[in-house]
Amino acid sequence: MKIAVCIKQVPDSWAEKKMAGGVLDRANVDAVLNDLDEYAVEEALRIVEANSPTKEAGEASGHSITLISMGPERATEAIRKALSMGADDAILISDAALAGSDALATSLVLAEVIKKGNYDLVLCGTESTDARMSVVPAMIAERLAWAQLTFAGKVAVDPAAKKVEVERITEFGNQVMSAPFPAVLSVVEKINEPRYPSFKGIMAAKKKTISTISLADTGLAATSVGASAAWSTVKDALPRPARGAGVKLTDEGSGGEKLFDFLVEKRLA
């Protein structure tokens, strides 16, 4: 199987985020591999391990895992982390023209790169912790006209039959969905526990290939991506007025009653 995993470098979710000129200020915060993408990398590794004679990812498994990411040169840091978990190689699409791309442009670029790779499966996290839209996996599936198996809490792959089955988990319940290869999957957080890169993995990752390609290499025009091609625009972004300090009291035996009084006063109970 040829598996691709889409990953993104995002501002550290523990860091304070600010807007700069209508977009997220990415330059002045620590950047990390999107938490939720680690589950996709882990699941890809497990799919390979479950279907490899040696029960290990890597060349001997007969399968491959390629990371695909769009971002600045600096995104190689996040890519190295995913490589150290065990992915085989990576493609980074990096181009000044891509700055400010919206989800539509991002999915366009990713789909264009995926198209050229002959992949059987594409795995994604459900969302990035910076934009939090949860739309890119569905957009990629739509653009490629591939099966969409998203919000998977369980994945079962049958490489011989070239089929994949997932359990989709949403707020309205669970659904079992199946489709033939090729398919676009996104995986939810509860699906697995991502491994920590081992020392061996970290050393091996240093030798793995990250192919950096430009927008021109994808065949897409600069007019179809980037901030100027975004189909929505931010009018203004204002800090929300700080919540006024509320009532704070120490429970001396009647804290629950006082809480009740507050709820009644606010017509909430």
Partner 1 sequence: MSSVIFLVDHSGGKIAKASSELATFAKNIGQSIAVVFSANPSEIVAQLNTLPVDKVITASGDWDKFGVAAIADGLAQIIADKKPNALLITSSANGKEIAARVAVKTNSGIITDAVGVDKDLITTQSVFGGSTTVHSAVTTGVPVITLRANSIEPIAATSNPEVEEFAVNISDSAKLATITSATEAVKGGRPELTEASIVVSGGRGTNGDFKPVEELADALGAAVGASRAATDAGWYPHSHQVGQTGKTVSPQLYVAAGISGAIQHRAGMQTSKTIVAINKDPEAPILEIADFAVIGDLFNVLPQATEKIKARKA
Residue with smaller CB distance to partner 1, 137 or 197: 137
Q: Which of 134, 195, 212, 222 binds partner 1 (CB under 8 A)?
A: 134
Please report how close the Cβ of residue 6 comes to partner 1 at its closest, in angstroms: 14
- Compare residues 31 and 83 and give the one whose CB is closer to partner 1: 31
Check binding of 28 to partner 1 (CB under 8 A). no
Map 141-165 to HEC letters: HHHHCCEEEEEEEEEEEECCCCEEE
Residue of 73, 145, 196, 199 interacting with partner 1 (CB under 8 A): 145
138 binds partner 1 (CB under 8 A): yes
Report, in Å, the least distance between residue 25 CB and partner 1.
11
Q: Residues 33, 97, 103, 110: which binds partner 1 (CB under 8 A)?
A: 103
- The piece of 52-60, 92-100, 197-205, 247-255 that touches partner 1 (CB under 8 A) is 247-255
Part in contact with partner 1 (CB under 8 A); list of ranges 71-79, 176-184, 204-212, 217-225 = 176-184
Q: In degrees to the nearest 10, what's the CA dihedral of 117, 224, 10, 202?
A: 30
**Burial class of residue 154 (count of CB atoms within 10 Å of its CB; 0-12, 13-18, 19+):** middle
Contact between 21 and partner 1 by CB under 8 A: the answer reads no
Residue ranges in 51-90 that form contacts with partner 1 under rule CB under 8 A: none
Q: How many residues in the shown chain lie near partner 1 by CB under 8 A?
A: 81
How far is residue 35's CA from residue 86's CA, in Å, rounded to a whole number?
16
Region of 65-73, 75-83, 196-204, 231-239 interacting with partner 1 (CB under 8 A): 231-239
Q: Does 172 bind partner 1 (CB under 8 A)?
A: yes
Does 161 contact partner 1 by CB under 8 A?
no
The contacts of residue 26 (CB under 8 Å, 6+ apart) are 11, 72
- Residue that the structure tokens 């279907």 belong to: 51
Q: Identify the residue whose tokens are 């890169």.
A: 197
In the list 169, 205, 220, 225, the residue contacting partner 1 (rule: CB under 8 A) is 169
Distance between CA atoms of 101 and 5, rounded to whole angstroms?
20
Instruction: Count other Cβ atoms within 10 Å, centred on residue 128.
Output: 24
Give the three-state DSSP class for 86.
coil
- If binding is defined by CB under 8 A, does position 38 make contact with partner 1? no
DSSP assigned state of 118: T
Strands 2-6 and 121-125, by their bridges, are parallel
Tokens 């799919």, located at residue: 47
